Each structure stands twice: as C-alpha cells, then as structure tokens.
Structure 1
C-alpha cells in the first residue's frame, strides 16, 4: 500500500508525494510547524503525505487522507498575539457560549445542532431531575 503513495519526483500526483511517516527531513506539516512556533509564511506547498484511513471515510469517496508539507528552513515565526486580537478572541468565545434564548453563559460552547443551551432545548428533562 505504501508504494502506491511513493512519488518523490511528483510525476504521478503533481507534487512530491510520500507515504505516511516517510517524508524526508526538513519538511513539516502545518501542525508540526505550529508546535515548533513556526508558520508557513506564504510559501508554496513543497510536498504532500498520503495515507489510507478508514476512520474518516465518506460515502462515495476513497479513504485517502493527505497533509501538505512545507520546508522548515523557510518557515517564519508565529505572529505574537496582540491585545486587540486576544480581546476579539475572548469576545467570539463568549458569544459561542451565550444562549440566544435565555441569554446566559452556558459554560460550554452552544451546540449548533440545538442552536440554544441544553437547558432551553430540553426544559422538560431539567425539571424532571
């Protein structure tokens, strides 16, 4: 299976492609860059990793996952969090926790499937307990 995704020159997939855990040193995914305090910094994708994953299979699509790789030596440091950005993020998170029905802070992110806090969505179950 891994041989199917081995394409270091990019002739089959358009960009250099490697199987899971076989990418060369010096390349990293966005998550790996972020863990190192780096970001891609506008550079183009250098390669990709492909692997099979039946865990994330969608009906009608093959169970193939991908991750783009970026050169670590060209990565830039992560931009620092400014006070304005921190305040905007806090405001957005507060809005996600505030119930539109009762207006209280639920203490958790309101499920989009309900559109309101669990107490407002199922009032009969709250009174029974």
Structure 2
C-alpha cells in the first residue's frame, strides 16, 4: 500500500471546543481510528445499551473505523454523544406479554403441537422426538 487510506487532518468536532485530529470525513462525519475516540464523550450504540442508555433520537456525531488484520477488511461504527443520550425506556406489561407470546411461538413443534420446553430448530420446526420419528420413517420407506 503506497499511502495511508485515511490521513490525519484537523477538524472541528462537536465533542471538543477546538479542532481535533481526525482521519478525515466519512459520510459527512468525522472519521476516528480505533482507540482514538474519547471514551468519556463518545460511545457506539452497543456501548450506550451496556450503560443503560439510548441515542434519544440523535444522529451519530462521528464514525469509528478499524481494520481486521487477517482479512484486511475495514469496518465502520457510528459514534454517539454520551451527553445527549437518555435512559432506556422500561419494559411495559404489554411488551412483556408480547415477548412471551413470541418466544412461545418459537417453542411449539409443528408436527405434534406440543411445547418441548426449548426453542425448536427453524430448519425443521420439529421437536427432537418428531424429527427422529420422521427420519426413521423416511429411512424405512427408502430401504
């Protein structure tokens, strides 16, 4: 590689008073390399969730990028201001009920209609007993 893909530049950024070093611009947002973003001011969506926060409808203020050494692929992640984040909305009883119904639907066997107390595979939609019976039936007919 002859030159750097993202050379260092200085730019005005929303999380600091003066210009800061960035790696240019990506999608109109300042680009920061991995390990250079201020952890006390910026966070990814997953980091906000781990803190019990959400972006609160605010757009990302920067983009974090890194390279995977083995594959050489470049990855990007949006960064949000922690100061603008709000607490995660609590689950309501209606949301808990809807979640329980959705999880129950994933556990019902399509052959026998029973709940085996585990999530059935999406490839067969059958519990283990019905799957084994179906396999034995197919092997018996083929012989």
Query: Under TM normalisation by the shorter chain, which class is it?
Result: 0.7 to 0.9
* Paired position in structure 2 for 1:121: 131
Structure 2 portions without partners, runs of 5+:
9-21, 137-143
In structure 2, the CA distance between the partners of 1:122 and 1:52, relative to structure 1 (3 Å rule), is farther
* Paired position in structure 1 for 2:66: 51
Given candidates 18, 25, 35, the residue that maps to 1:21 is 35
Q: CA RMSD in A?
A: 2.8
TM-score, scaled relative to structure 1: 0.74
* 8 Å Cα contact 1:5-1:18 kept in structure 2: no
TM-score, scaled relative to structure 2: 0.68
Say which structure, 1 or 2, has more relative contact order (CA 8 Å, 6+ apart): 1
Task: Report which stretch shifted further, 89-98 or 13-22.
Answer: 13-22
Write out aligned runs for 1:1-129 (5 A): 4-5=5-6, 8=22, 10-25=24-39, 26-53=41-68, 63-123=73-133, 124=135
- Quick check: which one's strand share is greater? 2
Inter-partner Cα distance in structure 2 for 1:121 and 1:20? 47
Structure 1 portions without partners, runs of 5+:
none
- Quick check: which one's helix share is greater? 1
Inter-partner Cα distance in structure 2 for 1:63 and 1:118? 40
How many Å apart are 1:107 and its aligned residue? 2.5
Inter-partner Cα distance in structure 1 for 2:77 and 2:26? 17
Q: Which has the larger radius of gyration?
A: 2
